[in-house]
Structure 1
Amino acid sequence: MAHILVIEDEPVSRAALASYLAAQGYGVSEADSAQEAERILSEQVVDLMLVDINLPGKDGLRITREQRALSDIGIILVTGRDDEVDRIVGLEIGADDYVCKPFNRRELLARIKNLLYRTGQAGHAARQVHRFEGFCFDTRSRRLEDANGETVPLTRAEFEVLHHLVSCAGQVVTRDVLMGRMTHRQYGANPRTVDVLIRRLRAKLESDPANPAIICTVHGEGYAFTPHVS
């Protein structure tokens, strides 16, 4: 199921909305500021953000502008303001939808479902689970678990690189191809930055990252995912 990030500085409203969405089966994270939201986005794969415009410090419009420059993530602005200017500006800078408080939860849920469907994260496609070297990699929920059943956190870019490598297990994949698989170029346009993601993945997957046995370097060509995948 999709992962939703609720960015709201009012704790009661934030907790109530997060609880409601969790009860609908979504994975939910909470942030009370732009700084906390950015930390979560750097550590986890998030499919949709509910962003309060009226945040202290960096407000919801600035968060929207910055995240839209980095990602195709779904963004719904949530605010107590009913100023038409805010709605228009929010949509112009990249928000997908806009709701005003107080809102009907069922209406908001319908908007969330519609947006997730449009962005391809609704989960209607067949579930894909890959197992290798004790790991379980569910590409629909974007969840990686180790042999102990513990979640291994992946950023969106790490997920996309690992997903393509697993899909091409046993084949050599070039840096350019891996770069092309990233839906947002938050690491710049240099394919060499893929090496950074590979090092981070090795740190999470390999028993000895200095001597990798899962993601191997093919000198002069790229990388190969070598384990048997079931």
Structure 2
Amino acid sequence: MTRKILIVDDDQKTRTLLKAYLEKNQYEVRLAHDGATFLAEFQRLADELSLVILDVMLPDTDGFALCKAVRRKSNVPVIMLTASSDETDRVVGLELGADDYIAKPYSPRELLARIKAIHRRIGIDSSAAPRYYRFAGFSLDTVERTLVDSQGDIVPLTGMDYQLLKYFVEHPGDVLDRNVLCEETRGRDAGPLDRSLDVQISKLRLRLNDGGRQPHLIKTVRGAGYVFSADVSAAAA
């Protein structure tokens, strides 16, 4: 099955941001701005979709009606988005057949985690995840856990180097705060005086020949965190 997602949301900025973020994570994304457009796209793509995301509040209908329409035709997983904190909305959505429910405001990272969890449950992400990430002449092999440079030489990585680099190449262009990086690589938040992550990033920069006053690959965003600025391509082979 493909990793194709259909999203309906009446906010253009939200649609654009979600599409860009999910496509960076190797999902194919189709967009709709209202219920009528969504239903037309769903009729056309129903057999290809691995998940749909429904905004509850739409100009011509609501996400509940769309969820019922989806369930009459398909068992494709459904995630519903709402600006309401009312528990009733969540219960109604789940009773109509939604698989998950996220309240606004939410982070794209949280939505991605929910998508991955659903896809793992139905057996998609485990086989579709890319093996290789290529950037700036380097190739990271996530099966062998090795990094090869442009000359074909293996760059030695510690376990922490690998976890940190893998997370960076999976999220190119995203500003990642220190707590996110510590949680993903160490399983805990960074304390206010904890500089171990910064030390680890300095070591990783050296392994990537990215040291000096102005690193080109792993950039510091003052007051926000770090961003991996290289162009990254992902492939299964």
TM-score (norm 2): 0.51
CA deviation after TM superposition for structure 1 residue 123, in Å: 5.4
In structure 2, the partner of 1:61 is 64
In structure 2, the partner of 1:164 is none
In structure 1, the partner of 2:220 is none
In structure 1, the partner of 2:112 is 109
What pairs up with 1:1-230 in 2 under 5 angstroms? 1-44=2-45, 45-122=48-125, 124=127
Structure 1 contact 2–123 (Cα < 8 Å) conserved? no
Structure 2 SS opposite 1:124: helix
CA distance in 1, matches of 2:123, 2:68: 21
Structure 1 contact 7–51 (Cα < 8 Å) conserved? yes
CA distance in 1, matches of 2:97, 2:78: 8
Listed one character per residue, the Cα deviations across residues 149-180 of structure 1 (whole Å, up to 9, x for unaligned) are xxxxxxxxxxxxxxxxxxxxxxxxxxxxxxxx
CA distance in 2, matches of 1:125, 1:105: 20
CA deviation after TM superposition for structure 1 residue 121, in Å: 3.1
| Large movers: runs of 4+ above 6 Å | none
CA distance in 1, matches of 2:123, 2:84: 30
Mark the CA change 1:91 to 1:21 in structure 2 (over 3 Å): closer, same or farther: same
- Structure 1 alignment gaps of length 5 or more: 127-230
Percent of aligned pairs with the same amino acid: 37
CA deviation after TM superposition for structure 1 residue 120, in Å: 3.1
Listed one character per residue, the Cα deviations across residues 95-118 of structure 1 (whole Å, up to 9, x for unaligned) are 000001111221211110011122
Structure 1 SS opposite 2:127: coil
Structure 1 contact 74–119 (Cα < 8 Å) conserved? no
Structure 1 SS opposite 2:80: strand
Q: What amino acid maps onto 1:72 in structure 2?
A: N
Structure 2 SS opposite 1:57: coil
CA distance in 2, matches of 1:33, 1:102: 20
Listed one character per residue, the Cα deviations across residues 208-230 of structure 1 (whole Å, up to 9, x for unaligned) are xxxxxxxxxxxxxxxxxxxxxxx
Mark the CA change 1:125 to 1:113 in structure 2 (over 3 Å): closer, same or farther: closer
CA deviation after TM superposition for structure 1 residue 125, in Å: 7.1
CA distance in 1, matches of 2:73, 2:56: 19
CA distance in 1, matches of 2:119, 2:65: 22
Q: What amino acid maps onto 2:98 in structure 1?
A: A
CA RMSD of aligned residues (A): 1.9
In structure 1, the partner of 2:208 is none
Structure 1 contact 82–100 (Cα < 8 Å) conserved? yes
- Structure 2 alignment gaps of length 5 or more: 130-237
Listed one character per residue, the Cα deviations across residues 184-216 of structure 1 (whole Å, up to 9, x for unaligned) are xxxxxxxxxxxxxxxxxxxxxxxxxxxxxxxxx
CA distance in 1, matches of 2:107, 2:128: 29
